[in-house]
Structure 1
Amino acid sequence: MTPARRLRRRAQQGFALVEALVAVALLAIGLIGMLGLQARSVSALEDSAMRTEATLAAESLLGIMATDQANLAAYAVAEGAAPGAQLKPWHDATKARIPSATIGVTVTPGAAAAGTRVDIRIAWTRKAGAANQHRVTSYIAGSKT
Structure 2
Amino acid sequence: MLSRRPTPRRAQAGVLLLEVLIALLIFSLGVLGLVGLQASAVKQSGQAKYRADATLLANDLIGQMWISNRTFESLSVDFTSTGAGGAKYNAWKARVNAALPGSGDAPPVVALARIQPLPAIVAGVQQAGTQLPTTRVTITMRWKAPGEAAGEPAHNFVLVNEIR
Would you say same fold, with TM above 0.5?
Answer: yes
* Runs of 4+ residues deviating >4 angstroms: none
1:62 deviation in Å? 0.2
Q: In the alignment, what sits opposite 2:52?
A: 52
Moved more, 83-92 or 132-141: 83-92
Aligned partner letter, 1:140 = I
2:122 maps to: none
Shift of 1:136: 0.6
TM-score (norm 1): 0.82
Quote the RMSD (CA, aligned, Å): 2.1
- Asked if 1:97 corresponds to 2:99, the answer is yes
* Long gaps (5+) in structure 1: none
Please report how far the alpha carbon of residue 66 of structure 1 lies from its aligned counterpart in structure 2 after TM superposition: 1.2
Q: Which residue, out of 67, 85, 88, partners 1:86?
A: 88
Partner of 1:108: 113
Q: TM-score, normalised by structure 2?
A: 0.73
Q: 1:130 to 1:23 in 2, by over 3 A?
A: farther
Q: Residue type matched to 1:90 in 2? A: W
For structure 2, list consecutive stretches of 5 or more residues without a partner in the other structure.
117-130
Distance in 2 (CA, whole Å) between partners of 1:130 and 1:41 is 20
State the one-letter code of the partner of 1:65.
M
Partner AA of 2:161 in structure 1? S
- Show CA shifts across 1:110-139 (max 9, x none): 345251110000111233334221111101
Identify the range of structure 1 (56-65 vs 99-108) with the bigger mean alpha-carbon deviation: 99-108
Which deviates more from structure 2 when the two are superposed, residues 69-78 or residues 55-64?
69-78
Whether the 8 Å contact between 2:101 and 2:144 is mirrored in structure 1 is no
Q: Percent identity?
A: 29
Deviations 1:18-39 (A, max 9, x none): 1111111111111111111111
Quick check: 1:137 aligned with 2:160? Answer: yes
Report the equivalent of 1:121: 140
